[in-house]
Chain A
Amino acid sequence: MKPATGLPTERSSARRELGGSAAAYALAIATFVLFAWFVVARQRRPFDLTTIAPYWNAIRSGFGLTLWVSFVSLVASTSLGFVVYLLSKSRVRYFRAFTDVFTEIIYGTPLLVMIMIMAFVIGPAFGTTNRAVMGLAGLIVYITPYMTNIFRSAIASIGAEQYMAMDLFGFTPFQRYRYIIVPQVIRILMPPLMNNFSLIIKGSALLNVLSYRELFYEVALMTNNTFRFVEGFLLMWGLYLVITIPLSQLTKWIDRRWGL
């Protein structure tokens, strides 16, 4: 619900800024580029990306796998998160308690620990030694309560007055979901969902401990062979940022364009 604003004085009293916003951003970005250049220039060996050229295909496939597992985790944890949300709203007290306890456990667990437990403890208990799959399952389970959370807050943000209004106007339950609830929830959900996607992409780097051949693993492998740590890790860092920064910018854009 939007608070009442709109007195004409509010806009004019905004703090006066020095310099344009675009220029300030260009300067800030330049600061970090300069820092990167400084760090590169301080290395004993000259920076030479061609030294890792033979590994380019491996890095590319690692990058692709990172995107793929992240996407799979996104879809799976969103679905699972919704199921947990439904359980948390269940009339059965046990289900509500179950989701509370589940959430507390996950919130208290480091992602790396979750992945190891899944791959080396829970997996074998169910007769699987496929650590890659169990590791991915660990990532999915880890993100799930965060997904539940955004469903909870998105659905809660539809105020009581709106439900009364729907009641009063005589919408059928189907019409309420189709025209009013779902369209709003989707819009409210998008920004935090994209943030969680970013969280997944970053978290997927930890799958390398299970010899999962994603971006981090491929780059680390390459640096072990070539000792080109600077080129390899900088490139990897850049590749993560190439996904996550546009994603966060897109999130902001969507929120501006579609936010409620």
Chain B
Amino acid sequence: MSDLIGGDRSAGGGPAGDLPEAADRRLTSGAFSSGLTVPDFAACLHMGLRPVGLVQGFCVMQWGWTGQGSIMRGTSPYSTAGRSGSYSEVFRCPHGYVSAEHRSFGQNFDQPWVEQAWAQGFGSAYGRLMEEAGEAGAHGVIGVVDTNRHLADLNVTEFHILGTAVVVEGWDPPPGTPIWTTSLAGQRLGKLLEAGLMPVSVVAAMSSVRVWASCMTEYLMSGQAVTWGQATGTDEVVQISKAHMEVRRLARDQVRGMLGGDSLHGARLDVFERGGEDQVIEAVLRGTRVRRFKDVDPIPVPKPTVSLA
């Protein structure tokens, strides 16, 4: 994943890929396109960035059989996490045998096969954006935004990433220099540079945790723990709380793995829940990987002002 997101395409003409011929013609036609607002456009020219084209990448993924990863996950209380650093936890029934319908255990486990499929969709779209940027001779891509949405009432998701490819005026990059990318543009990018931070690449990761509810989780989530469980009625639903904490940790760990000692700026964490007691919780963390190229030069303590207007 980090290889895909890290942006290993070379500046000044990327490797030959499957860019449509029409896109190639458009990118080299002599007029530029950009997704920048006029203030951002003016600010970029001011700091020595020249837009060369609005570049995009798409990938449409079908979510097929999602598999179970390591054997018996979610179906056996003795199964374990499928990979290093992943998450699996069993929640046992405190009641003993009640009936065949009664769940004797519940389990939380992360779903690396879902995370890898998401990374494949995002990474392919990102790779295609980088290919276009390389074709346009860009040194960087600014104002990168990404969306993913269901295309129809099917298990089909479209990944779309776009940004404005730019050239640094007066700079001749050594061969093999990677193209840098950032979700920032305009004055925010200027402030980042002033602060001594250079964007390396946009980073994004998705984590997914499946919850097979234990009997107590079922009772607690349906408000019947006092009747059927061994609870006071306002107990914490530990299994769900832990799933929420872990899905956030997994997303942050994945992104942390992409940073390689750099920092993450402007992080955005979105969490989605699907289902009730048995549910899937997903988290997507996005941001810009930044690297310090000069020491912190703190601004003076700002002076508060009151406007007379």
| Chains A and B belong together in one complex | no
